[in-house]
Amino acid sequence: MKFLLIEDNKELASAVCARMQIDGHVVDHAECFQDAIAFADTEDYDLILLDIMLPDGDGRTFLKHHRSRQKDTPVIVLTARSQVSDRISILDLGADDYVTKPFDHEELQARCRAVLRRKAGTTQSTIQLGNATFDPVAGSLTVDGKPITLRNRELRLLELLINAPGQIFPKHKLFDRLFAYDEDVSENAIEVYIGRLRKHLETSDLRITTLRGLGYRLDHG
């Protein structure tokens, strides 16, 4: 999944990005209010981690702006404020959850998983297509009940495709979702990951179709 981290503390941001990337997530990092607005207005994210105290603005103002654009991206606020009234005001502005600093990284990861489960709906936590079962939260794929081992970006690519079977994904769209803004990677990397994923899906009812000049589509049956 693709996350946006809005945090001006470089040491904390580096630690959070590293933990999330280990889980296979792509993370864009904004250090200030203006960068956060630019990222959020031009990219689609699965989750936003938002610091309240920013050097050039207030995270609550960002949250108001984001919700005013009718975006329902889950937002977890990272705050040093522990007063009950502060936490209530944050939730009333549209935050989905909050974590009080200093926090344990495992707790943050658990809260991210919980928010994403709520967003997806607990009754739809797994996706079944033919003989393939995919659990996006656990990051697991089984074919005929047998686990298929995928690397992180292969999992994220499958997640994009399997959530919208039959939909055509242009290469640039997949690229934007799989790689962070500052990664020095060519769009041709998508072809490499498509090829790897096809090999993993050989025994499944799923197939990835290439539509020249248009992109890729996941078909099943």
At residue 77, the pLDDT reads 94
- The predicted-structure confidence for 100-136, as pLDDT tens digits, reads as follows 888 888 889 888 988 887 877 644 568 899 999 998 7
Pick from 82, 97, 120: which residue ends a domain? 120
> Which of 120, 145, 169 marks a domain boundary?
120
Question: Any idea which residue has 């936490």 for tokens?
Answer: 87
User: CATH number for the domain including 202?
Assistant: 1.10.10.10
What's CA 154's distance to the chain center, in Å? 14
Give the model confidence (pLDDT) of 9-63 as tens digits.
Answer: 999 999 999 999 888 789 999 999 999 999 999 888 999 999 999 999 999 999 9
H/E element, 133:
strand 132-135
The answer on 105 and 26 residing in a single domain is yes
| pLDDT class of 205 with cuts at 50, 70, 90 | very high
Q: Which of 34-38, 88-92, 120-124, 157-161: highest mean pLDDT?
A: 34-38
Q: What is the pTM of this model?
A: 0.73
Task: Locate 155 and state its tokens.
Answer: 């999992």
Q: Are residues 187 and 108 in the same domain?
A: no
User: Given 120, 153, 175, which residue is the final one in a domain?
Assistant: 120
Q: In whole angstroms, what is the distance from residue 142 CA to residue 131 CA?
A: 8
Domain harbouring 61, CATH code: 3.40.50.2300
| Beta strand 140-143 pairing with 132-135 | antiparallel
Distances (CA, A) of 63 to 36, 40, 126: 10, 10, 30
Please tell me whether residue 88 adopts helix, strand or coil conformation: helix
Q: Does residue 84 surpass a pLDDT of 80? A: no
Structural domain of 131:
126-220
